[in-house]
Amino acid sequence: MMAEKQTPIYDIARSQGAAFVDIGGWLVVDAFGGEQKSIPAMTRDVALLDRSARAKVLVDGAAASAVVERAWDVPHLAVNGGAVHAQGAVYRLRHDRYFLSAPPGLEATLESTTARAMRQEDGLLTITDVTHGQAELWLLGPAAAELLSRLCGLDFHPASFPNLTARESSVAKTAQLVIRCDAARQRAYAIVGARSLGAYLWQTIIEAAHDLNLLLCGEALLLALESSKERDAGS
């Protein structure tokens, strides 16, 4: 029997009719049964995705900034700022803490690439793979900010919370990292927090969206949306 990795939403998503696909050794929601399988539905209101399988690595240390910039060739970031690179994205959470994010299965790459950039003079630096320990739920679509504002006191106006911003805050009374990570030309927010709270947060978001036509969405629909936007851009 092959070892399978399950996200914290696996059981609840299965009960909600999800079909799964293997990505990077993880069982990831491909599609929800009975979902409105249309891209317009996804771009009209708000979609909820379980993206907990994404690779997540913390880099701690006084020299974290220098190491991350060297490793990933990203510009110097202000605290709460972020940047994308070829493998994923980096976010500066504090003066001495970075959060690295990438598609599922790339956690080892994130770790090793960062470690290789370390120099003797950088001092103590700790790289921790927290992929398994954190749920990552995405809200995507025009109503994503409104839905999030029902659970979190941060100001999500684009001027205050532009794309690639990451802030730690309370979401539905739990400690979470909120990241603006627009995708497929849609506004999107990743909510990253303790894995053990993932199922609670998933259900709480669904309840908070009682009047927002929330679409439970899998990777297939997101991929289709991204493809359609790329086609639109090409044409």
Partner 1 sequence: MTEAVSADKMRRAAPAGQLIDHERSFIFTFDGKPVTAHPGDTIGSALARAGVQILSRSFKYHRPRGLRCCAGHCPNCLVQVGDEPNVRACLRAAQQDMVVEAQNAWPSLRRDALSLTALGDRFLPVGFYYKTFIRPRALWPAYEWVLRHAAGLGRVNADTAPATYDKQYLHADVAVVGGGPAGLSAALAAAQQGARVLLFDENGELGGHTRYKEIDRTAFGRDWGLEINDMQSPIPNLDIYTNTTVLGYYPHNYLAAVRGNRLFKIRAASVVVATGAYEQPLLFANNDLPGIMLGSGVQRLLHLYGVLPGSTAVVVTVNDDGWQVAHDLWRAGATVSAVVDLRSAAPTSQAAAFKEALEGAGARVFLDSTIVAAAGKGAVQEAIIAARGVRGGPTDGGSTRLPCDLIAVSGGWAAANELLYEAGAQIAYHESQGEFLPHALPPGIYAAGRVTGSHSLQSQIKEGREAGSAAAAYCATGKVQENFAHAGERREESAPSVEQDAHHSAIVTDGNGYENVRQGKRFVCFCEDVTDKDVRTAIAEGYRSIELLKRYSTISMGPCQGKMCSVNAILLCAHANGWSVAETGTTTARPPAKPVSLGVLAGQQMEPVKVTPVHDWHRQHGARMMVAGIWLRPEHYGDPTAEVQAVRQRVGLIDVSTLGKFRLTGPDAPQLLERLYVNRWQKLSPGRVRYGLMCNDEGVVLDDGVTACLEPQEYYMTTTSSGAEAVYEWIQWWAQSGWGDGVHVTPVSDVYAAFNLAGPQSRAVLSRLTPDDLSNDHFPYMHVRQMQIAGVPCRVLRIGFTGELSYEIHCPAGYGQFLWEALLEAGADHGISPFGVEAQRILRLEKAHIIVGQDTDALSDPFAAGLAWAVKLDKPAFLGRRSLARVSEQGPALRLAGFKMENGAPPPAEGLQIVQPEGDGALQIIGHVTSSRYSPTLQEAIGLCWLPAAMVVDGQPFTIRLDDGRLVQARVHEGAFYDPKGEKLRT
Residues lying near partner 1 in the complex (CB under 8 A) are found at 1-8, 10-11, 26, 53, 58, 60-61, 124, 126, 128-134, 146, 149-150, 152-155, 157, 159-160, 172-174, 194-197, 199-200, 204, 207-208, 210
CA–CA separation, 72 and 88 (whole Å): 9
- Which residues lie closer than 8 Å to 193 by C-beta, 6 or more apart? 134, 135, 171, 174, 175, 176, 177, 201
Tokens 């053990």 label which residue? 196
CA–CA separation, 44 and 151 (whole Å): 21
Q: What is the 3-state secondary structure (H, E, C) of 143-188?
A: CHHHHHHCCECCCCCCCCCCCCCEEEEEECCEEEEEEECCECCECE
73 versus 155: smaller Cβ distance to partner 1: 155
**What are 171's two structure tokens?**
């979401």
CA-CA-CA-CA dihedral for 140, 146, 148, 154, to nearest 10: 120
69 versus 96: smaller Cβ distance to partner 1: 96
8 versus 88: smaller Cβ distance to partner 1: 8
20 versus 225: smaller Cβ distance to partner 1: 20
Taking the complex as a whole, how short is the minimal distance between the CB of residue 228 and partner 1, in angstroms?
26
Taking the complex as a whole, how short is the minimal distance between the CB of residue 15 and partner 1, in angstroms?
9
39 versus 212: smaller Cβ distance to partner 1: 212
Taking the complex as a whole, how short is the minimal distance between the CB of residue 5 and partner 1, in angstroms?
3
Give me the DSSP letters along 21-33: EEETTEEEEEEET
Taking the complex as a whole, how short is the minimal distance between the CB of residue 159 and partner 1, in angstroms?
7
CA 90 remoteness from chain centre? 11
95 versus 210: smaller Cβ distance to partner 1: 210
Taking the complex as a whole, how short is the minimal distance between the CB of residue 126 and partner 1, in angstroms?
4
Taking the complex as a whole, how short is the minimal distance between the CB of residue 35 and partner 1, in angstroms?
22
27 versus 184: smaller Cβ distance to partner 1: 27
CA–CA separation, 183 and 189 (whole Å): 9
